[in-house]
Amino acid sequence: MPAGSLLSSLPFGLIMFGGTAFAILRRRWNRKRAAQDFPSLGRELGLEYTAPRYAGAVGTLAGKYSDRVVRIDPDDQRLLKVRFHGTPRVDLRSYEHTAATPFDMITIYSRDRDFDRFFRTRHATEAIAERIAGADRPGRHVEPFQGGRARQIQSVTITSEGVVCRFDHNISTASLRALLPACVALADLIEPSEAASVSEPPSAPPPLSEPPLGESRA
């Protein structure tokens, strides 16, 4: 009997049960693999690894990367955060924020459709707005957050504290390798380093060949 005919002859409930069981086993395998890979990712990025506080979690990475204080937490907060050195007045969000434009900010028009479409909320001081508009194709800074990787990302925000990329469900170690320098490049676009030129985002996203990091607790 052909496989299609065999599946069609099975009760729908049994097929659903089998699919659910397979998904659970796959998530468990992914969490186990991620817990094994996360410490080595920390060593690769030069970040300190902290073991998870409960079973089934991955842990956190924190420290300095490219002279920026960073933190990666795929378990509880599900975020990658890159801090500014100062407190620049900026509010960029990949979603629409209905609050009024702050009195000391203006709306950013970067002259780059990719950048303006990605950040649906775009407010900053006039100096920062001019810096972004004068940058060479600012839209290249958001490319690492798009494409096949977009389904792993819930939002990207840039406020006075820094750049925050929040994950939706799982995030792969391959994605983290690309998203960390991409977040640093965005931070340098807003707050350029005095000792170096603005960081460049990854030129091409790496393939999403690695399993995603584990989900947080329900």
Residue 209 belongs to a domain: no
Residue 73 belongs to a domain: yes
Residue 144 belongs to a domain: yes
What Rg, from alpha-carbon coordinates, does the chain have?
Answer: 20
The more confident residue out of 107 and 197 is: 107
**Residue 89 lies in domain:** 3-190
Residue 43 belongs to a domain: yes
Residue 212 belongs to a domain: no
Average pLDDT, the chain: 82
b/e burial code for range 147-162 (CB count within 10 A of at least 16 → b): eebeebbeebbbbeeb
pLDDT band with cut points at 50, 70 and 90 for residue 34: low
> Per the structure, how many domains does the chain have?
1
Q: Which three-class secondary structure state does DSSP give residue 66?
A: coil
Long-range contacts of 7-16 (CB under 8 A, 24+ apart): none
What pLDDT score was predicted for residue 53?
Answer: 86
What pLDDT score was predicted for residue 11?
Answer: 67
Residue 197 belongs to a domain: no
pTM score over 0.85:
no
Residue 218 belongs to a domain: no
Long-range contacts of 3-10 (CB under 8 A, 24+ apart): none
pLDDT band with cut points at 50, 70 and 90 for residue 37: confident
Residue 52 belongs to a domain: yes
Residue 48 pLDDT > 90, yes or no? yes
Average pLDDT of the segment spanning 118-147:
96
